[in-house]
DNA sequence: TTAATTTTTTAGATAAGCCTAAAAATATAT
DNA sequence: ATATATTTTTAGGCTTATCTAAAAAATTAA
C-alpha cells in the first residue's frame, strides 16, 4: 500500500522525466518536492525496494513500468478532479490545483472511473494538460509554445505551461482562455515580445508570457 | 492544523456521545476506533491540549463547543460525499461509506459548500442520516425504530441504524428501501419477529432487523 | 592529474501515531 | 474493609517521514 508521501514522490519523478532526459538526480527531486536531498535518498531507497523506480546510488533514478503506471494514475485522478471542480462546482482554473492535490490520493477504482464517465471522458484538464487513461497512456498533442509562432501566424490556445495562480489570473485579466483564437500581429526582435490579437483586441505580451502558452497551429 | 487521525478521534467521540449519556470512557473510544486504550490516552491528551475536548484523567472525555463543531463538520462532509456518490456516480448505498471515510478529510470550505449546492442541499444521506449544516446543527427527526411499531401500525422507512454492507444488502434483497411504505401486519410476542408488508409483498423479519430500521409514523 | 567544488549518502534526532507490558487508579465483590 | 477485578495511564519500542551535520563519492577546474 502506497502512502501519500510515496505517491507524491512518484508523481514528482514522473513530472521531472516529462521535461528532461535521462536519469533523475536526487537534487532535482528534492527541489520539486520541496524537501532535502537526504530525505529524497531515504524515500528513493524505499521506492526502489518496492520496484517502482530503478535506483543506483549516486547515479539517479528512473521509473519502472509499474512506477510509471502508478504515477500516471495519480495524475489521471488529479486532472479528472480538476475538471470536476471547474465543470461541476464552479471553481476557476486558478483555484483547483491545491484541492486536486488532496483528492488525487483518494483510493477507489470505481470512484475515478465513474467520475471519468460523469464528466464525459474529458481529454484535457482545465489547464489544457492531457488526462491519462486507465492504462496510463497520455495523448501526445502536437502543441507548440506561442513564443515559437512568427509574425502573421495563427493558432488556438490549448494549454498553459505555468499553472500558477498569478499567471492564470493574468490570463483571466487579458481574457486569454483555452479555446480562443490567437494571431501574432507583430514580433519585436529585440526582446521577442509580440503583439497579438485575441477576442478582437490587440495588445502586447512579453516573451515570458508567450513561453507559457500552448497553441495548436 | 488537524491530522486525519485527530479528525477520526473527534468523529468517534461525537458518535459515541450521540448514543450515550455522560462522559466518554477511554475504552469506549478504543473500541469505536479499533485501537488500544493506551493509544487513546495519548490522543486524548493532544485533543485536550488543543481544547477540543475536556479531559480529566480516569474520568473520561467530553467534546468542547469547538470540538463538537469540528466533528459535525467532518460528518457533514462524510454525508454530503455519500450523497454525491449515490446521486451522481451511481454507487449503491452499501458501497459509499469507505470512500466517504477518505473524502471527509479533504480540506476546502469552497469545495464542500459548492458540493452541497450542487447536490441541492440534501437533508439526509443515503442511509437516512441527517446532514449537519455549516454551523454544525443537525435536524432532529422524530424517527422511531420499526421494532417499536405494534400490529396494524404503518410508517415510511426513513433510515437505517446499521449501515453495514451485509445489512444493506439484505434490505436490497428484500426490496426494503428508504421512502417505502411499510405496515406491521402481525407481531409474534415470543421473539418479537413481525410480519410486514412492503411493495405489496408480505414477509417476516426478525426483531434484530426491525431494530435497525427507522420509520416515520 | 591533483585540488576544489558540488552532489549524494550516512548518521543521528525529532515528532506523530501506534503497539505491548507493567504500574496505578478506580470499581466491584466478599 | 479488604481483596479482586477492571479500567486507565505510564513506560518503553517501533515505523514513517522529516531534518541537520558530517562523511563519501563524483564532478569540475586549475
Ligand atoms: Mn494541478
Ligand atoms: Mn492541471
Ligand atoms: Mn458512512
Ligand atoms: Mn451514512
Q: Where are the beta strands (DSSP E) in chain A?
A: 53-56, 60-63, 144-145, 154-160, 181-187, 194-198, 201-205, 213-216
Global pTM reads 0.95
Per-residue pLDDT of chain A (217 residues; tens, 9 = 90+): 899 999 999 999 999 999 999 999 999 999 999 999 999 999 999 999 999 999 999 999 999 999 999 999 999 999 999 999 999 999 999 999 999 999 999 999 999 999 999 999 999 999 999 999 999 999 988 899 999 999 999 999 999 999 999 999 999 999 999 999 999 999 999 999 999 999 999 999 999 999 999 999 9
* A-B contacts (CB, under 8 Å): 39
Examine the pLDDT at B140 and tell me if it is beyond 90.
no
Pick B88's closest partner by Cβ from A98, A102, A118.
A118
Q: Would you say the C-alpha torsion B101, B105, B111, B117 has a positive or negative sign?
A: positive
Give contacts of A107 with chain B, Cβ < 8 Å.
Answer: 102
Please tell me the predicted confidence (pLDDT) of residue B200. Answer: 95
| Pairing state between β A201-205 and A144-145 | unpaired
How far apart, in whole angstroms, are the C-alpha atoms of residue B152 and residue A192?
85
State the best of A78, A102, A105, A115 to mutate against chain B, taking most chain B CBs within 10 Å.
Answer: A102
Comparing alpha-carbon positions, the chain A residue that sits nearest to B97 is: A108
Per-residue cell: B97: 461509506
3-state secondary structure of A213: strand
How confident is the model at residue B201, as a pLDDT? 96
- Contact yes or no for A91 and B110 at CB 8 A: yes
Task: Write down the pLDDT at residue A1.
Answer: 85
Judging contacts by C-beta atoms under 8 Å, the chain A residues touching residue B116 are: none
- Given this model, what pLDDT does residue A140 score? 87
Chain B, residues 80-99, CB within 8 A of chain A, namely 85, 88-91, 95, 98-99
How far apart are the CA of A83 and the nearest CA of chain B, in angstroms? 13
CB–CB contact B108 A99 (8 Å): yes
Mean pLDDT of B165-188: 98
How many other CB atoms are found less than 10 A from the CB of residue A82? 27
Whether the predicted pLDDT of B69 surpasses 90: yes
Amino acid at each position: 500500500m502506497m502512502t501519500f508521501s510515496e505517491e507524491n514522490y512518484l508523481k514528482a519523478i514522473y513530472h521531472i522525466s516529462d521535461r528532461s532526459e535521462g536519469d533523475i538526480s536526487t537534487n532535482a527531486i528534492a527541489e520539486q518536492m520541496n524537501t532535502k536531498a537526504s530525505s529524497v535518498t531515504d524515500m528513493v531507497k524505499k521506492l526502489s525496494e518496492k520496484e517502482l523506480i530503478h535506483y543506483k546510488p549516486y547515479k539517479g533514478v528512473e521509473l519502472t513500468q509499474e512506477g510509471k503506471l502508478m504515477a500516471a494514475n495519480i495524475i489521471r485522478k488529479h486532472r479528472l478532479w480538476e475538471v470536476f471542480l471547474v465543470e461541476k462546482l464552479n471553481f476557476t482554473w486558478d483555484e483547483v490545483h491545491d484541492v486536486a492535490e488532496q483528492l488525487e490520493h483518494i483510493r477507489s477504482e470505481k470512484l475515478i472511473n465513474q467520475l471519468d464517465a460523469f464528466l464525459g471522458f474529458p481529454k484535457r484538464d482545465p489547464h489544457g494538460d492531457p488526462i491519462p487513461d486507465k492504462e496510463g497512456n497520455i495523448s501526445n498533442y502536437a502543441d507548440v509554445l506561442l513564443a515559437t509562432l512568427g509574425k502573421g501566424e495563427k493558432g488556438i490556445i490549448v494549454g498553459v505551461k505555468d499553472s500558477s495562480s498569478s499567471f492564470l489570473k493574468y490570463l483571466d485579466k487579458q481574457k486569454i482562455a483555452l479555446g480562443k483564437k490567437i494571431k501574432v500581429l507583430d514580433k519585436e526582435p529585440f526582446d521577442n515580445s509580440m503583439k497579438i490579437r485575441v477576442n478582437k483586441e490587440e495588445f502586447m505580451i512579453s516573451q515570458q508570457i508567450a513561453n507559457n502558452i500552448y497553441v495548436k497551429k
